[in-house]
């Protein structure tokens, strides 16, 4: 029927080759200090965020407009645990770098976000559908932000929290952890979507009533997808904290952390596995290029790019050029 631009199997090999190239990039002399390195680090963060949004919205069909709140929760959790040394006690004195990319801290960042998603998701998803759910999550995001601004000493108010270590001399660990997380999240979602649970999620998206009639607990599936999406966003927030150190309400609860990944996912291809990653790469490149070439106009260019992409590529890159893409 459709002529395949790229054969099915090829996507997997392309992905593996790209990941291998990215993993080997630091070995290139000068690469670590190059601009491309920090550029790629941000692409990884956005790709992780986009993947998280894609899980609940692309595969689950529930448009969340509150993923920036989960990103911020992960970032704050990391910064607070670290600056207050709540986790490692005296070990921290012995190993001052113990909080750096500490898996326990990062997973806790994701878990806090996931728990928040369950708390808010249960009432919202049992009552609200479609646009109403989207509006509800948007309101939730704003509430969380105000709560952190008014959180007193614990959250540092409008200023936020500063993580104790202030500098790093290399971006290498950030890069590798970012790459690892991006690949890990993609693999996890691939596994998930091929499992019973993934099928249930897609069934719920395509026809809630039919899914329910076939014995799927619709609410549980939706809430789990929402929580999974929040977990991924929380981990991304945690990763960002190790880069930015200063976690403030205006920086980590910025709506851009929701809007940009959403945009990247849609440009790449909603409900595809590689779409969010491709979208993050392409869109971040466009934004960054605009920032360098026409610094005064770059947000104008970003806005224009979104509009043009949606007008001419509404199905996203993966579905437009990917031939018959196998969705997961």
Q: Looking at 42, 92, 142, 288, which residue binds another protein (CB under 8 A)?
A: 142
CB atoms within 10 A of CB 328: 17
139 touching another protein, by CB under 8 A: yes
In terms of Cβ atoms closer than 10 Å to its own Cβ (0-12, 13-18, 19+), residue 132 is: exposed
54 touching another protein, by CB under 8 A: no
Give min distance, CB of 28 to another protein, in A. 35
208 touching another protein, by CB under 8 A: no
Instruction: State the Cα–Cα distance between residues 243 and 197, nearest whole angstrom.
Output: 34
18 touching another protein, by CB under 8 A: no
The footprint of another protein on residues 112-131 (CB under 8 A) is 123-124, 127-128, 131
Cβ contact 282:268 at 8 Å: yes
Q: Looking at 7, 293, 300, 326, which residue binds another protein (CB under 8 A)?
A: 300
134 touching another protein, by CB under 8 A: yes
Instruction: State the Cα–Cα distance between residues 63 and 262, nearest whole angstrom.
Output: 9
Instruction: State the Cα–Cα distance between residues 295 and 301, nearest whole angstrom.
Output: 10
* Sole window of 93-101, 145-153, 170-178, 231-239 interacting with another protein (rule: CB under 8 A): 145-153
Give min distance, CB of 297 to another protein, in A. 6
Q: Is the dihedral of CA 15, 19, 24, 30 positive or negative?
A: positive
Which residues contact residue 186 at a Cβ distance below 8 angstroms, ignoring those fewer than 6 apart?
A: 51, 273, 274, 277
39 touching another protein, by CB under 8 A: no
**How many residues can be counted in the chain?**
328
263 touching another protein, by CB under 8 A: yes
Instruction: State the Cα–Cα distance between residues 65 and 137, nearest whole angstrom.
Output: 5
Nearer to another protein by Cβ, of 34 and 150: the residue is 150
Nearer to another protein by Cβ, of 134 and 244: the residue is 134
Residues interacting with another protein, by CB under 8 A? Answer: 57, 63, 123-124, 127-128, 131-132, 134-136, 138-140, 142-143, 146-147, 149-150, 255, 259, 262-263, 266, 270, 296-297, 299-300, 302-307, 310-311, 314
């Amino acid at each position: 029927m459709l002529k395949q631009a790229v054969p099915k199997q090829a996507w997997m090999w392309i992905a593996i080759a790209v990941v291998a190239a990215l993993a080997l990039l630091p070995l290139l002399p000068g690469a670590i200090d190059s601009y491309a390195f920090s550029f790629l680090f941000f692409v990884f963060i956005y790709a992780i965020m986009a993947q998280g949004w894609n899980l609940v919205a692309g595969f689950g069909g529930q448009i969340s407009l509150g993923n920036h709140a989960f990103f911020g929760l992960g970032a704050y959790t990391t910064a607070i645990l670290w600056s207050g040394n709540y986790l490692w006690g005296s070990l921290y004195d012995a190993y001052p770098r113990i909080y750096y990319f500490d898996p326990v801290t990062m997973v806790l960042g994701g878990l806090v976000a996931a728990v928040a998603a369950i708390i808010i998701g249960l009432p919202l998803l049992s009552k609200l559908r479609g646009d109403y759910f989207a509006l509800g999550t948007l309101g939730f995001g704003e509430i969380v932000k105000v709560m952190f601004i008014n959180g007193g000493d614990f959250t540092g108010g409008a200023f936020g929290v500063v993580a104790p270590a202030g500098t790093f001399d290399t971006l290498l660990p950030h890069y590798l952890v970012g790459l690892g997380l991006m690949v890990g999240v993609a693999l996890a979602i691939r596994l998930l979507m091929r499992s019973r649970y993934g099928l249930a999620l897609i069934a719920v998206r395509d026809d809630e009533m039919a899914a329910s009639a076939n014995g799927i607990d619709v609410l549980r599936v939706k809430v789990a997808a929402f929580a999974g999406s929040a977990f991924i966003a929380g981990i991304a927030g945690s990763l960002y904290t190790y880069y930015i150190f200063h976690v403030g309400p205006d920086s980590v609860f910025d709506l851009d952390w929701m809007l940009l990944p959403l945009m990247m996912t849609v440009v790449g291809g909603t409900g595809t596995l590689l779409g969010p990653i491709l979208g993050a790469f392409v869109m971040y490149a466009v934004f960054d290029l605009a920032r360098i070439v026409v610094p005064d106009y770059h947000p104008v260019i970003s806005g224009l790019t979104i509009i043009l992409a949606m007008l001419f590529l509404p199905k996203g890159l993966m579905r437009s050029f990917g031939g018959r893409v196998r969705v997961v």
